[in-house]
Chains A and B, each alone.
Chain A
Amino acid sequence: MRRRHLLKATVLMPAAALPMPAIAQAPKKIAWLTWNLVHLESHIKQWIAGFVAANPGAEVEWIDKKGPELPAFYQTQLVAGTPPDVIDIQGALGLEYAGQGALLDMTALLAKDSAVKANYDADYLSNWVFEGKNYMVPYYVSKTLLFWNKNRFRDAGLDKPPATFAEIIGFADKMKGGEKTGLLTLNFDWLYWPFMQMNGIDLLSPDLKTPTFNTAKAAEVLSVLADATKSGAINGISWTGRWVEPNEAFATGNVGMLHAHAPAYFWIKGKGPWINGETVGATHVPGGWATPNSHGLGISKGSKNPELAWAFVKHITGNVVADSLARTASVLTGNRTVDQAQLARLQKDDPAAYDVLKTQFEFTDKMCGNWRLGNDSRVKDAFWPEFQSAVLGRKTPKAALADAERRVARELRRA
Chain B
Amino acid sequence: MTDTRPDWYRRKRTREIATVVCFLLPALVLFFLYRILPLGWNLWLSFQAWSPLKPAQFIGLENYQEMLLDDDVFWQALGNTLIFIGCSPLAIAAALGIALLVNSDLKGAAIYRTIVFLSYPLMTVAVGIIWRWLYDERGGFINYVLRQAGFITEPLKFLQSFDMALPSVIVADFWQVLGFYMIILLTGLQSIPQHLYEAARVDGVPARARFLWITLPLLRPSIFLCLVVGILNSFTAFDLVYVMTNGGPGHATELLITLIYKAGFGQTRFDYAAALTVVQFLLLVVLTWVANRAAGGNAGSREG
- Please report A residues at the B interface, Cβ cutoff 8 Å: 71-72, 75, 78-79, 96, 100-102, 179, 236-237, 239-240, 242, 249, 252, 254, 375, 377-378, 381, 385-386, 388-389, 392, 394, 410
Contacts and interface: CB of A to CB of B under 8 A. Distances in A.
Given A78-B52, A78-B53, A381-B262, A236 B267 contact: no
- Interface of A, secondary structure class, is helix
A385 B268 contact: no
B38 to A, nearest CB: 14
Contact of B250 (A72, A378, A388, A410): A388
Interface string B197-238: 000000000000000000000000000000000000000000
A381 B266 contact: yes
Given A78-B53, A392-B160, 15 more contacts: A71-B266, A100-B52, A100-B54, A100-B268, A101-B53, A102-B52, A102-B53, A236-B160, A239-B160, A240-B159, A240-B245, A375-B267, A385-B251, A389-B162, A392-B250
B138 A377 contact: no
Contacts of A375: 267
Given A102-B53, A236-B160, A240-B159, A377 B267 contact: yes
Interface string B156-179: 010110100000000000000000
A72 B265 contact: yes
Interface in B239-266: 245-246, 248-251, 262, 265-266
Given A75-B268, A239-B249, A240-B248, A392 B159 contact: no
A101 B268 CA distance: 13
A78 B157 CA distance: 41
Interface residues of B, number: 24
Nearest to A235: B137
Contacts of A96: 268
A392 B250 CA distance: 9
B288 interface: no
B162 A392 contact: yes
A388 B52 contact: no
A394 B162 contact: yes
B51 interface: yes
Contacts of B251: 385
25 contacts: A75-B265, A79-B52, A100-B51, A100-B52, A100-B53, A101-B54, A102-B52, A179-B138, A236-B137, A236-B157, A237-B137, A237-B160, A239-B160, A239-B249, A240-B248, A254-B138, A378-B269, A381-B267, A385-B248, A385-B251, A388-B249, A388-B250, A389-B162, A389-B249, A389-B250
A210 to B, nearest CB: 19
B70 interface: yes
A377 B250 contact: no
Interface in B32-66: 51-54
B204 to A, nearest CB: 57
Nearest to B136: A245
Contact of B266 (A102, A377, A385): A377
B108 to A, nearest CB: 39
Given A78-B53, A236-B157, A378-B267, A249 B249 contact: no
A149 to B, nearest CB: 16
A237 B137 CA distance: 9
A71 B159 CA distance: 26
Nearest to A102: B53
Contacts of A100: 51-54, 268
Contacts of A242: 246
